[in-house]
Structure 1
Amino acid sequence: MKTKLCFVYGIITILFLNLFISSSFASPIEPDISAEAAILIEIDSGEILYEKNANAPMYPASTTKIMTALLALEHLNLEDKITVPEDMGPADGSAMYLLPGEVFTVRELLDGLLVKSANDAAVLLARTISGDIQSFATLMNQRAKDIGCANTSFANPNGLHDPSHTISAHDMALIAREAMKNATFRELVSQVNVTLNETPQTPEKRYFRNTNRFLWSTSKIIYNNEYIPIKYEVVDGIKTGYTGEAGNCLVSSGKKNDIRVISVVFKASGYDVYRDSRLLLDYGFDNFEKKTLIKKDTVLGSQPINYSSQGSLEYGTKENFVVPYLKSSLPVYNTKIMLNDLKLPISKGDIVGKLVISNDKSTNELTLFALNNVESIFNFNFIKQIFTYNSSSILKYLGYSLSSLFVLFIGFRYYVYCKRKKRLKRKSYRKLY
């Protein structure tokens, strides 16, 4: 009877432990996103934390202006002045209502572009950079390719509907990540309000409030079965978008608990774009943390070098490699070291290869640098080392031995000289007496 009871208790204990272990390390529940396409990435590594139809071509609407602003910051100076041309014409949709002859700085046009989401500002910046819209669209597509986008086809600088103007959520996240590296861009997209001064053509000030309600709105959304304000303190940008064909679109950036993420939501309905975006942001904040896999200036490996006085090369990186990972698991990555064709001499700090770090979601490359000097044995410095404190024992003793033999030789010669001198002196004494 006791044996049976022990067996039953053992089974119950095992089941309890299995339940405890599985619940402790269970994967988090992914957010229920209503939008047609969405993605969440960690900004430093580009690691994908969540995705839904992330590579499907979508209409981006005014989130297109992220790329327009990035190119303006890369090709123009903020204080450059631009005059509105006579053939500018009226703009469709949201606009600054630019009038021919008005003069604005690039900074003012970027305020209108990213805060007001002005379509005419996008056109004026595009024409200033490339001369015409088609040439600017070519520039946009080339820059997107440079960033790593694979499903992008820009046709205009503002996102007004064009059947050929499409981009995937993943590509938009890559572009947003690139733009957020620019300090001026980060400042521009975080502004709640901007004011532009009067011009001779427009005698009133222009007041704009950011179209991104995450930054200011007290309107309510249903979130986790509660009514809460749209405004979310952790969000610091970046861009909204809407057309009838694209639906509501939103690219958001936020930081909490030392982790910064970017979310992209395409084709949502109404305020659901904010609900979906917050679900993504909080999913990242609540379930992920960061771990340093590679520390800068740490020896990652040693490579024997033939005919070198040091014997081997030590190498490492000049930057930390930090990755996000689920709190309930540890990150698993594959690493591959690829050294260059190494030739002597090698100086500390020289680039000697690369480290490829990959998993099933991303691939990253880090440059490897020499952490020590490596010199050929066939050089003056190596011979000089024979007589230095840092030489190996054998070489040091060899140096001491040679020095000792030299001293003994000089001493012996002096001894012979003295004996000979004494003998000559005795001969001279005998002759005198």
Structure 2
Amino acid sequence: MKLFRKTLLKRTALLLFILLFLKLLIPQTVYANDEKNTDFSLYAQSAVLMDAASGRILYEKDGHKILPMASTTKIMTCILALENGNLEDYAIASSYAASMPKVKLSVKEGEYYRLGDLLYSLMLESHNDAAVVIAEHIAGSTQNFAQMMNQKAREIGCHDTFFITPNGLDATVTAKDGTVKVHSTTAADLAKIMSYCIMDSPEKENFLAITRTPSYSFENYREKDGQFVGGGRTFQCNNHNAFLSMMDGALSGKTGFTGTAGYCYVGALRRDERTYVVALLACGWPNNKTYKWSDTRNLMNYGLENYEYHTLKEAAFDEDRLKPIKVLGGQTNSLGADAYVDVKIDRPLSDENIPDNVTPPAGDGLLLKKGESIQVDCQTATELTAPIEAGTRVGAIRYLVDGTVYKVEYILTSRSVPAIDFSWCISQILHRYIL
């Protein structure tokens, strides 16, 4: 028995030694969008580098982990105010707004502020009370405004985001089913929201103008005889987004911090046709305030060094390759012949309409790493059954990278094909045998 045990121990030790040797000898698998694929590490618990034009994630570190996002929340507050409010309106400060904790503008109940001024207070100084005044003015209450925020998040495609407050202060609510929901998002969703703000929103230019402003001053107002009169307190706001002066092409951004969320950041950079968004969550706690800038630079440089802009024009499917589709039971010009219908690609902005020196609209291009390519998958019906209307969708062309679809073009019938009926049969017989 002792001999058996000794033999077993020796064999086990030998097996472990062989496995360890093989592990050292065989190269380890490198995973895309993982820190193993880079020569740097990140402080953030969750991070994403996104191609803002296509929404493609170029790099992630736990990018879909749900975490609180602090004042990066305010980019959603800002874009909703721009899209749904009048910047020349005057918003009144409530007692609830005045009760907000620092960082705050220190509004007083009953004071009026021009909505446009409050957006600078919101985005440059990150004032929590300004966010509440804005939310109450736009939606009547912060609860109603949170519903607008969540609805907008769903429209953008952010399904792991849940807003409770307009300023990003840590908060929880209990749903009707008893589950506790937290004010939270993911780095992937946060990057998607920023991409919307700078690329797709009808108010993107105003959003960029506000978030890029170095400093801004304004005053509060009071109501007198139905008019709003200034001359009250004056305020000075300075932009605290240090990233704007760190890299050429820095475009926009928003910082955030709470004791639960830690330091957070979302920022954008544009060079030539390339627009990158970085989102960081839980990027250190005091005294590690600079971690977010280090992570942002590393991710932006990674994107700039490794990705180039490519248009889908480069891989566009040639419409001449499409063949007519047989239509069963379809009318033809002569009795006994098979019916066919020509098809075309529904391409409103054809390749010929996009000059080579013009960047196509968002969605018509994306960033690719060296060695990557756009795959084209064309699927069409092999047979159709009459009647067929002109413009009937009979196929699709999908443009993919790494199995993810970034654009779809639809294939349509170019004309109608009626079904064979009694009157057509009589007509054909008359033409063939009598006329």
The CA deviation at 1:76 is 1.8
CA distance in 1, matches of 2:159, 2:385: 32
CA distance in 1, matches of 2:90, 2:160: 35
Aligned residues: 338
1:96 is matched with which residue? 105
Distance 1:344 1:240, change over 3 A: same
From 197, 214, 219, give the equivalent of 1:197.
219
Deviation at 1:48, TM superposition (A): 0.8
Alignment of 1:323 onto 2:366: yes
Q: Which one of the candidate residues 266, 269, 279 is aligned to 2:281?
A: 266
Cross-structure match for 2:192:
174
Amino acid at match of 1:215: L
Unaligned runs of 5+ in 2: 1-35, 173-181, 223-229, 333-339, 350-359, 420-435
The aligned residue for residue 307 of structure 2 is 288
* CA 1:276–1:344: 2 relative to 1, 3 Å: same
TM-score by length of 2: 0.68
Give distance in 1, aligned partners of 2:302 and 2:254: 20
After TM superposition, the structure 1 = structure 2 runs for residues 201-220 of structure 1, keeping only pairs within 5 Å, are 203-216=232-245
1:47 matched to 2:56? The reply is yes
1:364 aligns with 2:406: yes
Q: Call closer, same or farther: CA 1:292–1:202 in 2, change over 3 Å.
A: same
Closer/same/farther in 2, CA of residues 316 and 88 from structure 1, 3 Å limit: closer
Select the residue among 248, 256, 273 that pairs with 1:233.
248
Decide which structure has the larger Cα Rg and report it. Answer: 1
Q: Is the 8 A contact 1:141 1:152 kept in 2?
A: yes
Checking the alignment, whether the CA contact within 8 Å between 2:72 and 2:256 is kept in structure 1 is yes
Counterpart in 2 of 1:29?
38
Amino acid at match of 1:48: I
Which residue of 207, 210, 220 maps to 1:185? 207
Q: After the TM superposition, which residues 23-422 of structure 1 pair with which residues of structure 2 at under 5 Å, given as runs?
A: 29-85=38-94, 88-162=97-171, 164-180=182-198, 181-182=200-201, 183=204, 184-197=206-219, 199=221, 203-216=232-245, 231-268=246-283, 269-294=288-313, 299=319, 301-304=322-325, 306=327, 307=330, 311-319=341-349, 321-327=364-370, 329-333=371-375, 335=377, 337=379, 344-346=388-390, 354-360=396-402, 362-368=404-410, 370=412, 373-376=414-417
**Quick check: 2:217–2:235 contact (8 Å CA) kept in 1?**
yes
| 113-122 vs 181-190, which moves further | 181-190
Instruction: Give the structure 1 partner of residue 425 of structure 2.
Output: none
SS in 2 for 1:325: strand
In the aligned structure 2, how far is the partner of 1:150 from the partner of 1:54? 13
Could you say which residue in structure 1 is the equivalent of 2:357? Answer: none
Per the normalisation by structure 1, the TM-score is 0.69
Measured after TM superposition, the shift of residue 336 of structure 1 is 5.1
3-state DSSP of counterpart to 1:128:
helix
- Tell me the SS of whatever aligns to 1:152: coil
Verify the 8 A CA contact 2:113 2:220 in the aligned structure 1. Answer: no
Is the 2:46–2:281 Cα contact (8 Å) retained in structure 1? yes
**Aligned equivalent of 2:12:** none
3-state DSSP class of the match of 1:154? Answer: coil
CA RMSD of aligned residues (A): 3.3
What is the SS of the residue equivalent to 2:282? Answer: strand
